[in-house]
A = this chain, B = another copy of it.
Amino acid sequence: MATTLYEQIADDLRRRILSGDLAVGDDVPSEGELAEQWRTSRGPIRNALAALRSEGLVETRRGRPARVVARKAHHPVDVSIPFTKWVRDVGGEPGARTQEISLRRADDDKAQALGIRPGDLVVDVVRLRLVDGRPTMLERLTFIEEVGRVLFDVDLDTVSITEYLDSRGFGYDDIDHEIDAVAADELDAELLDVEPGTPILRLHRVTRGRDGRTFEASDDRYRSDIVRFTVAASGRARQGDHFIRAIGT
């Protein structure tokens, strides 16, 4: 899958860290050694390490080799990682209970978010997401028609929408998120099994495809007692230094 050299190097190092071959506190081989092992120059090595740094797996400092970082509580995961993959990574069993999938016309808000005209067809999905059978997140997804139509072909309770769309050629290029806190409304409360008014962590997402067109807008509501988001930022504006991760508790 990894097409570029630095992605292969990053994948290999990631695998060694996650398998425990490289333990927390261990030094990653120096850039020089890695370059020799991969018979390459330092460029791709540095790109691979930048990716791992941005994922919070290693920290680097001038003068000493990159070091494997203590994983924050409960396996931090990049917020751009699909829910399904995130839950599996933290050792949980992901689940989904689809409440609704419908083809309808976009109202003004949705049209604006997706960059289409009000009245254009969109596909709405409402799905409750579970971790080990426990209600964790309620997602309201809206897709442009072309993309959303293919969702009628699959069982949304068992399929990862992100992975499925990727397999159908709708991979994402980048995502904008907005995070705020809202009170649980009646539907949130019922499905997430909390009292109405409970503070909910809301993540509003807009996803663009590789052609630059927005194809998905979503509103994910997380139980804040189960999920938090973590962010790390460096004071230096170097390569790959800002990132965000979500953690489950």
- Asked whether, in the complex, the Cβ of A176 is within 8 Å of the Cβ of B243, the reply is no
A166-190 CB contacts (< 8 Å) to partner B: 171-183
Query: Interface of chain A, helix or strand or loop or mixed?
Result: strand
Number of copies: 2
A15-70 CB contacts (< 8 Å) to partner B: 47, 50-51, 54-55, 61
- Asked whether, in the complex, the Cβ of A10 is within 8 Å of the Cβ of B237, the reply is yes
Q: Which residues of B contact A125 (CB under 8 A)?
A: none
- Asked whether, in the complex, the Cβ of B240 is within 8 Å of the Cβ of A242, the reply is yes
Of the candidate stretches A102-110, A140-148, A224-232, the one touching chain B is: A224-232
Within the complex, the shortest CB–CB distance from A72 to chain B, in Å, comes to: 7
Q: Most chain-B CB neighbours within 10 Å: which of A72, A200, A231?
A: A231
Q: How far is the CA of A160 from the CA of B163 in the complex (A)?
A: 46
Chain A residues with a Cβ under 8 A of chain B: 7, 10, 47, 50-51, 54-55, 61, 72, 78-80, 171-183, 197-202, 212, 224, 227-244, 247
The 4 closest A-B pairs by CB, nearest first: A242-B243, A181-B181, A199-B199, A80-B233
